[in-house]
Amino acid sequence: MKKSTIVIVLALMISVFSCSTKDKSSITTVSVEEMQTLMALENVQLVDVRTPIEHKVGHIANSQNIDYNSPTFDDDITKLDKDKPVILYCQKGGRSAKCADKLLEAGFKKIFDLKGGFSEWEHVDLKLNL
């Protein structure tokens, strides 16, 4: 019963957020709770855009680290699948918002940005990979 509810919610979220135009409406800011639901999808790409040092100190489980400030950032994001949903987070939300804009320009279709970043995730006290 719980799985079917999650599937229904995810299907609704995807249908609401799947926009083919390349505008800000293609980037969705999500709460920690909404992010948990999105992470239940098999094809989601969870990306931590903080520095490797920040990532090493603590990060959300199963996230890949692509440093927004790295000189190789633009090349690094090309390794992501443009057709799969991408969830971004940084420490508080600034870098991930900038990264979301770059992904949008690069043709990514479904971009989600964690409101409040890793700080908010820690505050809500969810499962961390430290």
Active site residues: 90
Q: Which residues contact 30 (CB under 8 A, 6 or more apart)?
A: 38, 87, 112, 113, 114, 115
Decide if 87 contacts 69 (C-beta within 8 A): no
Alpha carbon separation from 120 to 38, 39, 95, 111 (Å, rounded): 16, 16, 15, 19
C-alpha 40/C-alpha 17 separation (Å) is 16
The closest alpha carbon to 18, from 83, 81, 93, belongs to 83
